Amino acid sequence: MLNAAIRESVVKTMVRFPAVRSVSQPVNGVRPATSCSSCCLQGVCLPCGLASANLSDLDELTTVKRRIARGASLYRGGDEFDALYAVRSGAFKTVGVSRNGEEKITGFYLPGEVMGMDAINNERHNYSAAALEDSEVCVIPFARLTALTLRIPELQQQLFRLLSRDIARDHGLMLLLGSMTAEQRLAAFLLSLSRRYKRLGYAADRFMLRMTREDIGNYLGLTLETVSRLMSRFQRDGLITAQQREVEFKDFDGLMDMVGHW
Amino acid sequence: MLNAAIRESVVKTMVRFPAVRSVSQPVNGVRPATSCSSCCLQGVCLPCGLASANLSDLDELTTVKRRIARGASLYRGGDEFDALYAVRSGAFKTVGVSRNGEEKITGFYLPGEVMGMDAINNERHNYSAAALEDSEVCVIPFARLTALTLRIPELQQQLFRLLSRDIARDHGLMLLLGSMTAEQRLAAFLLSLSRRYKRLGYAADRFMLRMTREDIGNYLGLTLETVSRLMSRFQRDGLITAQQREVEFKDFDGLMDMVGHW
DNA sequence: CGCCTAATTGATTAGAATCAAGCTTTGTGG
DNA sequence: CCACAAAGCTTGATTCTAATCAATTAGGCG
């Protein structure tokens, strides 16, 4: 019990100060990063690829941070859109709610990933963004961002790339939902998380799921029972070990083969 | 036979000169539109919302057109990305091919819709774009487009909106694939086509499907048999009449109720 | 410690896939 | 212009995957 509490606290600390060391900027573990130019996520976030001269412009743009407690919402479907949000720490899910109350998760967001881009078009958020754990985001006012992109062509390119990547990612999920079996979906999901944690500098073969079985099932178009059964089966078959939220990969190739070669 | 040939030709003519009359620009039915400023699709395509002063800039950008015969490819997965393509007439599907040869359709594109935006990120096309009938596209060189967006803020906004709309549209499809029954999917698909034809100025309650049952099934994550059975059932239930590719809506509300209120 | 949420596992059912056959339309070559 | 082949569509019978219903068990938190 106490043991579990300690483990959980360790995990959270790890999230707050990810072990990204590939960034040229030296990382100061004590002083909290308050700007892009000193943020350890700069290599994987909005400023990725920008010259350091331009980073100070972004710094001014992203001074506002927001802390969101586990379970709370960053924004809600129908809210006016005026900013993008970059995850600084923690994790989020974006949830659509139909009039009859059914919920559908459209995405999970890890540190360095940008939320809200689907709302640019009609200037209203289509979904709610809920924190899966205590989290923090950078607020990126969209009007000021687009003003800045006119001055910094590289930033414009980067924003186009970001939007494009979102489209491509969604296509991947459409593929998954439209033509994969339940076991392929779950394998693809786990591999996707692995890839994204690796990009953040974490181990690719061992991580903590931030979402419930129900969330996973909802996202993948499966029931929570099916997800649970598959987790058990993957474990029986020696592909992973899993207890609760903790997942360890034992046979990467086995999982990849299962998904096939999309 | 001859009859069929005539009907087909009529359909094609209709496609080439859509009955969009809501555009301020007078439409000249004889002189083929060769530029945005004289194109009858300007109200629903890339230049949507731009001042006419800026349209001439776009005209220069989009002088190159390409004709694609039915069944032929505009680009293929893996090709270098250097341009977006706006459908001028006809229709396209974008198709991903896995290494083991399975195909998956990620989208259908009608006149005024822009293809290739998923490729901006990694500068390679992820999918192939195949013409569903003899078609024509405007080639929009991406490097020149982004140069222009730096000069015309409204165009930048418009491009952001376009990308964003693609994301939102994909989310809609994810919803569909991830949480709808077969009949809901097909109903949603038909309603989506209806909405898009209406936007183009066509009748919303009567149109010709440009794709096979197999294409529809592939796109919706269903088999062609299921699609066929559902078309029959919708007809039996008085929701539509359908013979081959011709679809007529008889009960809009019935279809909407079926989809539910997403 | 006890409540509540999350997860596991089993039994049964339902929806869509698969397998299979026949029919219609379209396109082509003689 | 017709015949025939190929592609596309429809419908039926059967199978199988994942949903649903149901009962426990395990963990996290006040």
DSSP SS3 for B210: coil
- Residue appearing with tokens 């999982």: A255
- Residue B175, both tokens: 């919803």
Between CA B150 and CA A150 the distance in angstroms is 5
Between CA A173 and CA B177 the distance in angstroms is 10
What are the two backbone dihedrals, phi and then psi, of residue A212, each rounded to the nearest 5 degrees?
A: -75, 170
**CB burial class (10 A; 0-12, 13-18, 19+) of residue B107?**
buried
> Which residue in B100, B159, B168 is closest to A126 by CB distance?
B168
What are the two backbone dihedrals, phi and then psi, of residue A124, each rounded to the nearest 5 degrees?
A: -135, 145
Q: Which of A48, A126, A167, A222 to mutate to test the interface with B (most CBs of B within 10 A)?
A: A167
**Residue A17 has what pLDDT?**
33
- Residue B229, both tokens: 């059975």
A77 closest CA partner among A129, A131, A127: A127
**Residue A88 has what pLDDT?**
95
Q: Which of A46, A108, A161, A179 to mutate to test the interface with B (most CBs of B within 10 A)?
A: A179
Query: Over the stretch A36-84, which tens digit does the pLDDT of each residue have?
Result: 999 999 999 999 989 988 999 999 999 999 999 999 999 999 999 999 9
Chain A CA closest to residue B172: A106
Say which amino acid occupies B105: I
| Cβ neighbours for B199, distance < 8 A, ≥ 6 positions apart | B44, B112
| Cross-strand partners of B103 | B97
Please give the nucleotide, over all strands, whose C1' is closest to the CA of residue B222. C16
Chain A CA closest to residue B106: A171
pLDDT tens, chain B, 262 aa long: 333 333 333 333 333 333 333 333 333 333 345 789 999 999 999 999 899 889 999 999 999 999 999 999 999 999 999 999 999 999 999 999 887 778 999 999 999 999 999 999 999 999 999 999 999 999 999 999 999 999 999 999 999 999 999 999 999 999 999 999 999 999 999 999 999 999 999 999 999 999 999 999 999 999 999 999 999 999 999 999 998 899 999 999 999 999 987 6
**Residue B101 has what pLDDT?**
77
Q: Which whole number is the average pLDDT over A193-218? A: 95
Between CA B234 and CA B183 the distance in angstroms is 9
Q: pTM value?
A: 0.86
Q: Within chain B, how many helices (H) and strands (E) appear?
A: 8, 11
**Residue B34 has what pLDDT?**
77
Q: How confident is the model at residue A97 (pLDDT cuts 50, 70, 90)?
A: confident
Q: Which whole number is the average pLDDT over A225-236? A: 96
- Residue A151, both tokens: 């001055």
Query: Over the stretch A201-210, which tens digit does the pLDDT of each residue have?
Result: 999 999 999 9
Cα separation of the two ends of chain A: 42
| Cross-strand partners of A84 | A140
CA dihedral in degrees (A106, B253, B240, B181; nearest 10)?
Answer: 30
> Which residue in A117, A127, A160 is closest to B120 by CB distance?
A160
Between CA A155 and CA A175 the distance in angstroms is 30
- Residue B18, both tokens: 């859509």
**Residue B41 has what pLDDT?**
94
> Which residue in A102, A166, A220 is closest to B167 by CB distance?
A166
**Residue A1 has what pLDDT?**
34
CA–CA distances in Å: residue B177 to residues A22, A69, A180, A213:
38, 31, 11, 19
Label the pairing between strands A65-68 and B206-208: unpaired
**Residue A33 has what pLDDT?**
55
Share of chain A above pLDDT 70, in %: 87
Q: Do B175 and A96 touch (CB under 8 A)?
A: yes
A204 closest CA partner among A256, A161, A132: A256
**Residue A244 has what pLDDT?**
86
Task: Please count the other Cβ atoms lying within 10 Å of the Cβ belonging to residue B62.
Answer: 25
| 3 state SS for A51-77 | CHHHHHHHHHHCCCEEEECCCCEEECC
Tell me the nearest-neighbour CA distance from A25 into chain B, angstroms: 25
Query: Over the stretch A104-124, which tens digit does the pLDDT of each residue have?
Result: 999 999 999 999 999 999 999
Query: Over the stretch A8-43, which tens digit does the pLDDT of each residue have?
Result: 333 333 333 333 333 333 333 333 457 899 999 999
**Residue A98 has what pLDDT?**
81
Between CA A131 and CA A93 the distance in angstroms is 7
The DSSP string of A74-109 is EE-TTPBP-EEEEEEES-EEEEEE-TTS-EEEEEEE
Query: Over the stretch B194-207, which tens digit does the pLDDT of each residue have?
Result: 999 999 999 999 99
Tell me the nearest-neighbour CA distance from B194 into chain A, angstroms: 20
B40 closest CA partner among B201, B217, B238, B227: B201
**Residue B17 has what pLDDT?**
31
| Cβ neighbours for A35, distance < 8 A, ≥ 6 positions apart | A55, A58, A59, A62, A63
Between CA B59 and CA B262 the distance in angstroms is 38
**Residue A99 has what pLDDT?**
73
Strand C nucleotides, any atom under 7 Å from protein beta carbons: they are 6-11, 15-20, 25-28
The answer to whether the CB of A111 falls within 8 A of the CB of A36 is no
